[in-house]
């Protein structure tokens, strides 16, 4: 393998490892590099020198990856990042709400009515109110308890905000 071939192989490997470009996209860029190198060889550079100069002009794998991805289809531009992003947010929210709910159910078993307790200091006194259970005692702190209805309202609000946020994100990306 001569020097130019090993340089080209090294460049290819770096592109394969550091970009999401597929094989034919890399083939096309490699052909571009070799075409551009030929031009520099005609001005007196060695083929290896020319290849190195051209590879630098073409850009780093990260720069190339960015320019390829930024011109992707509407579907990829709009939905891939936001679908992934909002799925992650949704999963996190569901986990938080589920944890609060399960915790609430557990704590509810300690009190007479259907109420969910999110936080309660040990030794606090519980007393019933119209739409939930309130605590007193401990250090005198209270309202660390949430009624189940409030929990449902909180969940709906979270979903609503999530959907609205997602809509705003899509709208902004459409305008971009």
Partner 1 sequence: MFTREMNAASTTPLILGILQKGESYGYEIVESVKAVSDQQIEWPEGVLYPVLHRLEKKGLVSSSWRESPEGRKRKYYSITVSGKEALAAERRQWSIVVSVLDSLWEPIPRLAGATP
35 binds partner 1 (CB under 8 A): yes
151 binds partner 1 (CB under 8 A): no
d(CA 104, CA 114): 10
**Closest CB to partner 1 among residues 67, 114:** 67
Stretch near partner 1 under the rule CB under 8 A, chosen from 21-29, 84-92, 137-145, 150-158: 21-29
Stretch near partner 1 under the rule CB under 8 A, chosen from 31-39, 122-130, 132-140, 168-176: 31-39
The helix/strand/coil state of 145 is strand
Per CB under 8 A, which of residues 47..86 are in contact with partner 1? 57-59, 63-64, 67-68, 70-73
DSSP 105-138: HHHHTTSSSSEEES---TTEEEEEETTEEEEEET
- Give the sign of the dihedral formed by CA 59, CA 60, CA 63, CA 67: positive
What is the smallest separation between the CB atom of 12 and partner 1, expressed in angstroms?
13
The helix/strand/coil state of 149 is helix
**Closest CB to partner 1 among residues 27, 121:** 27
- Give the sign of the dihedral formed by CA 15, CA 19, CA 23, CA 25: negative
34 binds partner 1 (CB under 8 A): yes
121 binds partner 1 (CB under 8 A): no
**Closest CB to partner 1 among residues 21, 133:** 21
2 φ, ψ to 5°?
A: -80, 175
d(CA 40, CA 38): 5
**Closest CB to partner 1 among residues 34, 52:** 34
In angstroms, what CA-CA distances link 23 with 13, 30, 52, 54?
A: 11, 10, 21, 20
What is the smallest separation between the CB atom of 131 and partner 1, expressed in angstroms?
56
List of residues contacting partner 1 (CB under 8 A): 24-25, 27-29, 31-32, 34-36, 38, 57-59, 63-64, 67-68, 70-73
């Amino acid at each position: 393998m001569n020097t130019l071939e090993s340089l080209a192989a090294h460049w290819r490997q770096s592109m394969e490892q550091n970009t999401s470009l597929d094989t034919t996209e890399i083939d096309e860029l490699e052909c571009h590099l070799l075409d551009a190198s030929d031009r520099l060889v005609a001005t007196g550079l060695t083929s290896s020198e020319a290849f190195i100069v051209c590879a630098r002009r073409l850009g780093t794998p990260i720069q190339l990856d960015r320019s390829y991805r930024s011109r992707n289809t509407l579907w990829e531009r709009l939905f891939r990042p936001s679908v992934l992003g909002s799925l992650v947010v949704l999963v996190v929210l569901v986990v938080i709400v589920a944890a609060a709910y399960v915790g609430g159910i557990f704590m509810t078993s300690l009190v007479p009515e259907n109420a969910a307790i999110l936080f309660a200091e040990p030794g606090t006194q519980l007393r019933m109110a119209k739409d939930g259970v309130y605590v007193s005692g401990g250090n005198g702190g209270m309202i660390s308890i949430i009624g189940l209805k409030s929990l449902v309202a909180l969940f709906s609000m979270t979903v609503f905000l999530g959907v609205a946020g997602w809509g705003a994100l899509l709208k902004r990306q459409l305008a971009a």
